[in-house]
Copies of this chain bind each other. A is one copy, B any other.
Amino acid sequence: MPPRTARRLTSFTSSDRPLYDQVRQRLIEGISAGEWRAGEAIPPEIELSQSFGVSIGTIRKAVDALVAHRALVRRQGKGTFVTAHDIGQLAFHFFHIVPRDGAKVYPEVRTVGFRRDRGDPMSARALQIAPHDKVIRIRNVLSLAGAPVSVDDITLAAELFRGLSEKHFVSRGNTIYHLYQSRYGINVLRTEERLRAVLAKGDVAQHLGVAEGAPLLEIRRLALSFRDRPVELRLSHVNTARHEYYNTLGKGEAL
């Protein structure tokens, strides 16, 4: 066996980071750059192993990390694919409003507002854009089993979503993230959410069909892509009379 140091230098410049970490980084770059798009397969492990000049075990360790982050999915006998935010269980990964009794249902989305605007200081800071850069503001009303449950006010950096228009929001389901991915190549990987209880008022109360002063769950969500790049800011007001926000901390599966 040739000395490892020599081989490492053929593919990677010297670095103190582990090899699998560098491979992981390269895969991320390939996905971000659109080299492999959502739903497409990345090259087979053996091929990656050869082109990167590392062992298959190292490739597997790099891929493992990306699978854990839901950036990739493995399918035995078929290949390893870039995660697609299609309708399906994955759509629920970032949608946590469930009926207090029954089972999960797909939400119906109705877009009631769409306009271009200048960013306010709060949004701009969250989205990491300049204070008065252009933004797109969308208001959606989400219904479950026919009844309105949540009013979502979405803010996007116009820079990232050129050419976005109201007609793109006719699709079924909560998969705006699928739209981001298929049309703009932006993969939402994780979100940060801040929840509070507030009192209903104004048009939000009207949309939800509740009285002013009714208790609502307020959710401020920031959606992030690779390298924690901010993608979307969303302010939701949820009527929790018949629904609730369900969350599981620690790995979801039992040990």
Give chain A's interface residues, CB within 8 Å of chain B: 24, 28, 66, 68-71, 93-94, 96, 100, 189-199, 213, 215-218, 224, 226-228, 238, 240, 244-252, 254-255
Question: How many Å from the CB of A83 to the closest CB on chain B?
Answer: 11
Whether B217 pairs with A196 at a CB distance below 8 angstroms is: yes
Which 9 A-B residue pairings sit nearest by Cβ, starting from the closest? A190-B250, A196-B240, A197-B215, A197-B197, A228-B254, A195-B245, A197-B217, A194-B244, A193-B247
Whether B192 pairs with A248 at a CB distance below 8 angstroms is: yes
Chain B, Cβ-Cβ closest to A94: B249
Chain B, Cβ-Cβ closest to A189: B250
18 more A-B residue pairs beyond the given contacts A28-B255, A66-B255, with a C-beta to C-beta distance below 8 A: A68-B68, A69-B250, A189-B251, A191-B250, A192-B246, A192-B248, A193-B247, A195-B247, A196-B215, A196-B217, A196-B240, A196-B245, A197-B216, A198-B215, A198-B240, A215-B216, A224-B254, A226-B255
A197 contacts which chain B residues (CB < 8 A)? 197-198, 215-218, 238, 240
Chain B, Cβ-Cβ closest to A225: B255
Instruction: Determine how many copies of this chain the complex contains.
Output: 2
Indicate whether A71 sits within 8 Å of B255 (C-beta atoms), given known contacts A215-B199, A217-B195, A240-B197: yes
Among B70, B96, B193, B255, the residue within 8 A (CB) of A246 is B193
Whether B224 pairs with A190 at a CB distance below 8 angstroms is: no
A96 contacts which chain B residues (CB < 8 A)? 249
Chain B, Cβ-Cβ closest to A216: B197
Q: In whole angstroms, how far apart are the Cα atoms of A199 and B226 in the complex?
A: 39
Whether B255 pairs with A227 at a CB distance below 8 angstroms is: yes
Q: In whole angstroms, how far apart are the Cα atoms of A224 and B195 in the complex?
A: 23
Indicate whether A196 sits within 8 Å of B249 (C-beta atoms), given known contacts A213-B213, A255-B66: no
Q: Give the one of A194, A196, A216, A217 with max B CB within 10 A.
A: A196
Question: How many Å from the CB of A195 to the closest CB on chain B?
Answer: 4
Q: In whole angstroms, how far apart are the Cα atoms of A69 and B247 in the complex?
A: 16
A190 contacts which chain B residues (CB < 8 A)? 248-252
A199 contacts which chain B residues (CB < 8 A)? 215
Q: In whole angstroms, how far apart are the Cα atoms of A69 and B66 in the complex?
A: 17
